[in-house]
Structure 1
Amino acid sequence: MRFSDFPFLRYLPFLLLGIFLGKSGIHVEWELLAISLIGVSFLFGFLVIHRKSMKTRSILAYFQLLLLGLFCESFQREFVSGQSQVAINQGYIAEVQEYDLQKPNSFQNLLSLRFIQTEDEWLPAGGNILVYHQSEKPLNPGDLIWVREKPEEVPSPVNPHEFDYRGYLAKQGIYYRQFLGENFTLIEQNAGFDFSFLMVYWRKEMATMLSRHIQHEKAQQIALALLLGQKQELDRDTKKAFSEAGVMHVLAVSGLHVGILVGVLLLLIKPLKLKKGPKRFYLIGVLLVIWIYAMLTGMAPSVIRASVMFSLLTLGQLRERRPSIFNILAFSAILMIVLDPDVIFEVGFQLSYLAVAGIVLIQPLIARLWLPQTVITEYFWQLASVSIAAQLATFPLSIYYFHTFPTWFLLANMIVIPLTFISMQLGIPLMMVGWIESLGNFLGFITELFLRLEIWVLDGFKELPFSSFQFLTISVYGMLAVWMLLLLWAAWENYPKKRIIRFAAILLVGWVIKTGIDQVNYPDRQLVLYSSERGWFLDYWENESLYSWNHQVDPENLDFLVKPNRIQNQWKNFPKPLAVYKNQAGLLYFPSLDLKVDSKKKIFFGSPTQRGKLQYWTNGKWQAESNRDSLSLEGKSYRILF
């Protein structure tokens, strides 16, 4: 296996380099980059036509990719900043993009801005607004509404390592949110046709049909997630059951789902033994079905990756060739990154490609460790080796983002994946013929049985001891070290073993040294002051012990306000209470910190000798703050290093 055999795999790093250079602060106008890219492309074409130096052509080709990465990032930044900087100071007119989603006390929907109101006129505008309304009449895709009040900007996270909901919505082009109640006016129903609305309509109709044939509530939720990618319908307990068992990936429409769809379509024509011409037309039809299904399920990163992969495999059948899986993976990644450079930073994109890369590179090595003697043991060993390979590739990133590791993932995957496979084999025909009531009822009944069996299995895993390891952390260097070691294992048979061992030893020593330096530099004492819309919270770390105080913060909110910082710092989850009493002025006084807090979230410091280095949290990191006698916890969190 030579690296030169995989051209798209060679192209990908240069495209990524261009994007990262743009993200790191090298900002060039996209128009200038477009002109440069066209000029370099013409020069490259001239060299190819006149068969000039191969080395020069290669350098120019890679430079083109770097410029393309810079251009994509610059164009995306210009487009996004234009939307995010739209100032909505009065009312606006917007187009409804989705059907209402039921929430406990309201309906959620997404609006696309069309015009914003100023003092003198209406101006065209773009961008999306997340809204909640309580109107008895539902909002439907294509409806135009007029809202008189201005929306609020989605706030940035205030507390350390808190989930960045603002950034999450910004990746979807959403920069504002608003509770409308019933304070809006419907201007026009179904104002204009949009192909995306057709997909939304079909998705709703199919969801309604599936819900009619699958009666059990949780089985219904899982069916909608499996077949249509509608994970927003899943309740918290169901998500938790899949997550703790390590099988959350089956709910993301991906290669498993698209593969089953393609398999069913190809199985239908196998008995017909079509000749070359009719077979080509049928395979083109399969390609159309793949992409209609991708649009129907929402075009998530895992869906696009799987759709591109199976499209290329289908095209390979048309040309009677089988393309390299590495080229397919790299090409699909390049396509997605060019269309949306920010997709690189989406967890779903990263996990999807890591899982497939792990299966392709590591699974054959694991499968070789044991050669089963029967068909049944061979099937389960292949399934186990795929699960282990995917888990090895993705666990560093899962720990980095989610701080958990499912203990029983291997056993759970060996049971849940076959059940999911059967449910999909039944569910896809159900989607095709469910409009025929008798067939729909029959397939729906059997599909529901397997989904309920899956739920029962997952409930059983929740009862097992040590179902998951919690509060785990890993550094970026640690992640990279694990992936490099896996790559060295994959390269073991193709590269000099002494060189691989030497490189692995350097990696491990570097990891140990980096961990040691981090431990030495870690502060012995620190105080973190968390902010909340209602109340405030203190964490004080001293001598390997954690002390805390909660003032009127809802305990349910601690999981996303306080817990992320504790996990990141590897602090114990059950702290001791801080000593506190109320003085004559009505202030809360913490004697161990020489600190007072009033009813308006204002902190008063005592003796200057007790004060440490003051920092505040902004843009995902701690920044130095000038020392002062007092500060306010309204909309800001602080850290004091003693």
Structure 2
Amino acid sequence: MRFADFPFLRYLPFILIGVFIGQSNWSPSLMSLALALSLLWLGYLIVMVKLEKGKSKFQSSYLAYVALLVFGALLVQNRLAQTDFNTEILHSDSYLAEVTLYDQQKPNSFENLLAVKSILVDRVWKDAQVKVLIYHQNEQGLEPGQVLLVKKKPEQIPSPLNPLEFDYRQYLERQGIHFRQFLGKNYQVVDSARTSVFDYFLVRLRHEIGEMLKSKIPDENSAQIALALLLGQKKELDPTIREAYTQAGVMHILAVSGLHVGIIYALFILILKPLKMKKEKARVYLLFVILIIWLYAFLTGLSPSVVRAATMFSLLTFGQMREREPSIYNILAFSAILMITINPHVIYEVGFQLSYLAVLGIVMIQPLILNLWLPRHKVLEYIWQLTSVSVAAQLVTFPLSIYYFHVFPTYFLLGNLLILPLAFVIMQVGVPLMMLGWIPLLGEVLGWVLSWLIWLQNWIAEAIRVIPGGKLDRLTIDFAGMLVVWGMLLIIAAWEFGSKRKLTWIGLSILFLWAGFRFYSELQKPSRELIIYQGKKSQLLDFSVSGETYSWNQGLDGGEISYSVEPNRIHNQLAQFPTSLIAQELDSGKLEFISAGFTFDPTHKKLWFLAPPKLIYSWSEGQWVAMQTKDMLVVDSLAYRILF
């Protein structure tokens, strides 16, 4: 097995590096990159012509790889140019916008997405193309294609105030959404847009199938799971059910992914065997299977994992039609390049990262685990294969899961062994229900069967949830730690093919570098540190000294602490419930924290230091920014880090 046999796998790293370059502040402009790419390809063609005539010794591959780097950067700059938003809407008096989705129920309102078409600025209507995330309270609801007149301007989505807090603004920006607005009932439906039948066909079809599933499945909780499992609509999931599936380690079955596409693929391919079609008919049928897979991918919203799986199964099917078996590594890399070309920001989506890591783990690690034991009985062999797949996928994905979610499901293996086979059966009933549920009596029977199967699945997930020690939480790993884990797994995967001596030295070098990095990080930790977090109306103070954390909370509730404070506490391995920081209240209303060496005025949001601190940082645009050191600090709008 040679690396040169996987061309797309060789191209992918250069495109990824190019994407990171294009995302950086020092990236060349779109026109400069386009010109550079044109010159590189021209140079490549000239070199190739000379090579054919035997007049050149220059390696053409160098030009090709540089061109791939430029191509990756060009993708990002082109995407940024397309998503540049018009800030004039912030100065508008009114705007006209088209509804693009069906309403999503929220606790006190309905959420929807508007595509703005025109804005009124200084009594002049101007064309505009921006998206606004809205919340309204009209019980009649909105439908795709309606045109609204809104007589007030939206607001820009603010950046997070606290360190490592989820960046909702960045999350929406990557979807092209830069504004939000609470409308209540202050809008007017003025028209229905004259769109073609196909403009909102899939949106309407997804909505109609969802409503049909709700009507055919008698149990409400089962209907919620059916919407998530079959259509990827997880927003209506009950928190208790969500927690049960998370602790069972099977939350991935509720996010429409490659697993679901694989089940649908298997369902239609298994039909082919008993029919024993001739070659020509088999090819037509396989084209029909590809069409069904992509229809399902579009129907469920084209999530990264679904697109990856649909692309892979399509290529595998084309290979079957040509009686060839393409390399799984080439297929994986090609599907990734295709997705990055369409949207370079997809590499930042957790679903994209977890999906590819899981498949890589199954392809590289699962055979090694499978060979550890060769069961003699069919049932044991099936259980062992499912076990090896689950363990391989978990080994490769757990560093990333901990990095993002800080949780590890202890009983993931039990959950996968019991729930995954049941999910396969549920899909075999659910897909026919989606296609044939409109038929009287048949839809009711399929809905009842599906409801009972999902009830059983929920019961198993809940039974696993109540087992003590179901999850390890508040776990943390840094980027270097992830690289160490993946490096060791690669060494294990290559152990039988490479030089064991070289691999051992590489492994020891990785561990030595990581230990040195950890030692350096520990030396850099300050002995005394104060973090000031911002809530909606108040502040929370964490004071750390010699590894102990003390906290003072002015009024942040549990939800705010979980969302705004906990990410930084977990990252820095601070206590979840710190010791109270004792303050003495002065006659002026100020609070004197004698042990910490500062005084705080909660009314005017001012902080005085008994002795000037060494460094002061403010949290801005996702990083700590150094400020001028002074004896007094106003803490009314940002998070601050003070080192003593």
Contact 1:344 1:350 in 2 (8 A): yes
Residue 615 of structure 1 is matched in structure 2 by: 617
Q: Output the amino acid matched with 2:623.
A: K
Residue 625 of structure 1 is matched in structure 2 by: 627
Question: Does 2:642 align with 1:640?
Answer: yes
Residue deviations 1:71-130, cap 9 Å, x none? 1011112223x1265542122211111001111211110111212221142222222111
Residue 41 of structure 1 is matched in structure 2 by: 41
Pairwise CA distance, 1:331: 0.3
Q: How many residues align?
A: 640
SS in 1 for 2:114: strand
Q: Output the amino acid matched with 1:624.
A: A
Alignment match of 2:254 (pick from 251, 254, 269): 251
C-alpha spacing 1:22/1:426, structure 2 compared with 1 (3 Å) = same
Q: Output the amino acid matched with 1:281.
A: V
Question: Does 2:476 align with 1:473?
Answer: yes
Residue 442 of structure 1 is matched in structure 2 by: 445
Alignment match of 1:506 (pick from 509, 531, 534): 509
Q: Output the amino acid matched with 1:217.
A: E
Contact 2:530 2:642 in 1 (8 A): yes
Residue deviations 1:460-498, cap 9 Å, x none? 122112111111111111111111111111111111110
For 1:598 and 1:332, the matched residues in 2 are separated by 57
- Equivalent positions of 1:124-135 (< 5 A) are 124-135=127-138
- Equivalent positions of 1:151-550 (< 5 A) are 151-193=154-196, 195-550=198-553
Residue 551 of structure 1 is matched in structure 2 by: 554
Of the structure 1 ranges 144-153 and 29-38, higher mean CA displacement relative to structure 2 is found in 29-38
Pairwise CA distance, 1:332: 0.4
Q: Output the amino acid matched with 1:129.
A: V
Of the structure 1 ranges 86-95 and 299-308, higher mean CA displacement relative to structure 2 is found in 86-95
Residue deviations 1:193-228, cap 9 Å, x none? 363511000000110111111121221111111111
Of the structure 1 ranges 497-506 and 263-272, higher mean CA displacement relative to structure 2 is found in 263-272
Which runs of 5 or more structure 1 residues have no equivalent in the other structure?
Answer: none
Normalising by structure 2, we get a TM-score of 0.96
SS in 2 for 1:437: coil
Residue 109 of structure 1 is matched in structure 2 by: 112
Contact 2:102 2:112 in 1 (8 A): yes
For 1:196 and 1:296, the matched residues in 2 are separated by 13
Residue 566 of structure 1 is matched in structure 2 by: 569
For 1:289 and 1:600, the matched residues in 2 are separated by 62
For 1:320 and 1:55, the matched residues in 2 are separated by 38
Contact 1:142 1:193 in 2 (8 A): no
C-alpha spacing 1:57/1:235, structure 2 compared with 1 (3 Å) = same
Pairwise CA distance, 1:185: 1.4
For 2:604 and 2:406, the matched residues in 1 are separated by 31
Residue deviations 1:582-641, cap 9 Å, x none? 22112233222343333445123042x253421111122211111234333322111111
SS in 2 for 1:231: coil
SS in 2 for 1:419: helix
SS in 1 for 2:111: strand
Pairwise CA distance, 1:515: 1.0
C-alpha spacing 1:109/1:194, structure 2 compared with 1 (3 Å) = farther
SS in 2 for 1:579: coil
For 2:213 and 2:169, the matched residues in 1 are separated by 33
Q: Output the amino acid matched with 2:348.
A: F
Q: Output the amino acid matched with 1:241.
A: A
Residue 146 of structure 1 is matched in structure 2 by: 149
Of the structure 1 ranges 51-60 and 321-330, higher mean CA displacement relative to structure 2 is found in 51-60
Residue 30 of structure 2 is matched in structure 1 by: 30
Question: Does 2:583 align with 1:580?
Answer: yes
Contact 2:104 2:112 in 1 (8 A): yes
SS in 1 for 2:145: coil
Which runs of 5 or more structure 2 residues have no equivalent in the other structure?
Answer: none
C-alpha spacing 1:448/1:71, structure 2 compared with 1 (3 Å) = same
Q: Output the amino acid matched with 2:369.
A: I
For 2:342 and 2:227, the matched residues in 1 are separated by 27
For 2:147 and 2:450, the matched residues in 1 are separated by 39
For 1:133 and 1:115, the matched residues in 2 are separated by 20
For 1:426 and 1:42, the matched residues in 2 are separated by 55
Pairwise CA distance, 1:41: 2.8
Contact 2:86 2:128 in 1 (8 A): no
SS in 2 for 1:215: coil
Contact 1:595 1:603 in 2 (8 A): no
SS in 2 for 1:415: helix
Identity %: 46
For 1:271 and 1:594, the matched residues in 2 are separated by 80
Pairwise CA distance, 1:290: 1.2
Of the structure 1 ranges 548-557 and 590-599, higher mean CA displacement relative to structure 2 is found in 590-599
Contact 1:252 1:302 in 2 (8 A): no
Question: Does 2:123 align with 1:123?
Answer: no
SS in 2 for 1:94: strand
Of the structure 1 ranges 629-638 and 383-392, higher mean CA displacement relative to structure 2 is found in 629-638
Contact 1:535 1:601 in 2 (8 A): no
For 1:89 and 1:630, the matched residues in 2 are separated by 36
